[in-house]
């Protein structure tokens, strides 16, 4: 190629690259403006997020509300309130000791009252007066008492003395299991003419259905009081024609998963009518429908609230305390505890059902089967 042609081609190439150099500042400007836009957007987002954050006071208020609602059960708070209400004018350690002596020694209510008073006032002083710490002493610098009055030395020594006396001289009351022999005595009493003096027909049928269901399913009280008809399939038939009821229970003792349902198929037990959940549930269902004047619905409670007069409150589930009162009255009137030391609590049916199947049933169950049935693991 001639030299002149080569020189001209190099000039052309040189002229072609010149515009590229001039465009570089334009790309830098675009990048800078893009970066500035991202920063401004990020700042706006942060401002928006910080504006949506709750205040410290609202967070503390919410935490206090959660503590008030869940730290102690309503039953415990109610008990504490009763103790504090009866002794609000007894707020010094000396007079608190006098109140405890009055309750435990003059009224002979035992160590349980001292325990209740001590716990209630400890909680009251912490919440209402801001008394913190496990001590009670006078600060010479501030000239104020510090700590919690229930830890005053004389009151503490007196409290421990009552506790020692109770442990050495007191008679422990054992919580007993409710076994078929006990239920037989109770059922016979409820069928007698004597029971009609104290209980209505509704109360008798209600009690029979409740206790046989609790015994058969080994339930705790809380698992039955909210049971609805939709949780039960009544009068089912197996492939071989055996009748049964199917109970579906959620939130058993060890189950906290709302999607996990345990199903129990309960057959009739004609040889042991005192624990025949199938029969007593059917009888109770028929009685409820007679009172309602209609078939029971899925939203109906199987054991609705029952007044002391024996009248049912449909649409409202019974309470734990209401059934405990009914149980105590039936146990007392039936004389099932005659000559025995102990008591029956609402947990007695769970204990009794498990022990019966493992030790005394005609066809005993393995321990693993009992644990699964009672949801004990």
User: Which tokens is 265 given?
Assistant: 């198929």
pLDDT of residue 267: 96
Report, as an integer, the average pLDDT of 192-209: 96
Q: Closest by alpha carbon to 326, among 238, 193, 214, 199? A: 199
pLDDT of residue 113: 85
Identify whether the C-beta of residue 178 lies closer than 8 Å to the C-beta of residue 348.
Answer: yes
**Above 80 in pLDDT, residue 52?**
no
**Above 80 in pLDDT, residue 327?**
yes
- Contacts of the segment 163-168: beta carbons below 8 A, 24+ positions apart: 163/111, 163/114, 163/115, 165/111, 166/110, 166/111
**Above 50 in pLDDT, residue 118?**
yes
**Dihedral over alpha carbons 26, 27, 30, 31 (to 10 degrees):** -140
pLDDT digits (tens, 9 = 90+) for 221-242: 888 998 999 999 999 999 999 9
- The number of angstroms, rounded, from the C-alpha of 368 to the middle of its chain's C-alpha atoms is 26
pLDDT of residue 54: 75
pLDDT digits (tens, 9 = 90+) for 75-105: 666 665 655 555 554 456 777 788 888 888 8
Residue 284 or 252, more confident: 284
Cα dihedral sign, 71-73-74-76: negative
**Above 60 in pLDDT, residue 259?**
yes
**Above 70 in pLDDT, residue 13?**
no
How far apart, in whole angstroms, are the C-alpha atoms of residue 351 and residue 187?
Answer: 19
Task: Please write down the HEC assignment for all residues of the chain.
Answer: CCHHHHHHHHHHHHHHHHHHHHHHHHHHHHHHHHHHHHHHHHHHHHHHHHHHCCCHHHHHHHHHHHHHHHCCCHHHHHHHHHHHHHCCCCCCHHHHHHHHHHHHHHCCCCHHHHHHHHHHHHHHHHHHCCCCCCCEEEECCCCEEEECHHHCHHHHHHHHHHHHHHHHHCCCCCECCCCHHHHHHHHHHHCCCCHHHCCCHHHHHHHHHHHHHHHHHCCCHHHHHCCEHHHEEEEEECCCCCEEEEEEECCCCCCCCCCCCEEEEEECCCCCHHHCHHHHHHHHHHHHHHHHCCCCCCCCECCEEECCCCCEEEEEECCHHHHHHHHHHHHHHHCCCCCCCCECCCCHHHHHHHHHHHHHCCCCCCHHHHHHHCCCC
Domain range summary for the chain, segments of one domain joined by +: 73-169, 180-373
User: Which tokens is 310 given?
Assistant: 């024996």
Residue 191 or 319, more confident: 191
Give the confidence band of 21 by pLDDT, cuts at 50, 70, 90.
very low
| Percent of the chain residues past pLDDT 90, beyond the cut | 42
Residue 11 or 118, more confident: 118
Determine how β-strand 232-237 pairs with β-strand 243-249: antiparallel
Of the ranges 75-79, 87-91, 255-259, 308-312, which one carries the lowest mean pLDDT score?
A: 87-91
Report, as an integer, the average pLDDT of 37-50: 58
What's the CATH number of domain 180-373, 1.20.140.10, 2.30.30.30, 1.10.443.10, 2.60.40.10?
Answer: 1.10.443.10
pLDDT of residue 79: 63
pLDDT of residue 152: 85
Give the confidence band of 139 by pLDDT, cuts at 50, 70, 90.
confident
How far apart, in whole angstroms, are the C-alpha atoms of residue 271 and residue 146?
Answer: 68
């Amino acid at each position: 190629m001639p030299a002149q042609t080569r020189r001209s081609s190099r000039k052309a190439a040189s002229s072609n690259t010149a515009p590229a150099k001039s465009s570089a500042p334009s790309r830098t400007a675009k990048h800078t403006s893009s970066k500035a836009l991202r920063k401004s957007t990020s700042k706006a987002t942060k401002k928006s997020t910080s504006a949506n954050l709750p205040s410290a006071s609202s967070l503390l208020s919410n935490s206090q509300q959660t503590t008030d609602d869940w730290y102690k059960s309503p039953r415990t708070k109610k008990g504490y309130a009763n103790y504090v209400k009866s002794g609000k004018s007894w707020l010094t350690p000396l007079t608190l000791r006098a109140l405890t002596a009055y309750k435990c020694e003059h009224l002979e209510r035992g160590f349980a009252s001292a325990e209740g008073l001590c716990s209630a006032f400890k909680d009251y002083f912490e919440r209402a007066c801001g008394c913190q710490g496990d001590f009670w002493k006078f600060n010479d610098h501030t000239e104020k008492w510090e700590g919690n009055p229930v830890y005053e030395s004389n009151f503490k020594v007196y409290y421990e003395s009552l506790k020692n006396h109770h442990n050495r001289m007191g008679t422990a009351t054992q919580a007993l299991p409710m076994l078929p022999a006990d239920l037989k005595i109770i059922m016979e009493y409820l069928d007698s003419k004597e029971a009609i003096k104290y209980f209505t027909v509704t109360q008798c049928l209600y009690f029979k259905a409740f206790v046989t269901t609790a015994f058969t399913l080994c339930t705790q009280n809380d698992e039955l009081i909210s049971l609805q008809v939709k949780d039960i399939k009544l009068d089912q038939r197996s492939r071989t024609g055996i009748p049964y009821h199917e109970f579906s229970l959620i939130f058993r003792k060890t189950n906290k998963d709302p999607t996990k349902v345990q199903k129990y198929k309960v057959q009739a037990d004609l040889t042991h009518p005192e624990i025949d959940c199938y029969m007593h549930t059917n009888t109770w269902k028929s009685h409820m429908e007679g009172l309602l004047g209609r078939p029971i619905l899925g939203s109906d409670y199987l054991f609705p609230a029952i007044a002391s007069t024996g009248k049912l409150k449909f649409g409202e589930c019974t309470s734990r305390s209401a059934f405990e009162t009914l149980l105590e009255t039936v146990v007392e009137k039936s004389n099932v505890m005659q000559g025995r030391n102990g008591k029956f609590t609402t947990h007695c049916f769970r204990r009794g059902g498990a022990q019966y199947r493992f030790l005394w049933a005609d066809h005993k169950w393995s321990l693993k089967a009992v644990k699964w049935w009672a949801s004990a693991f």
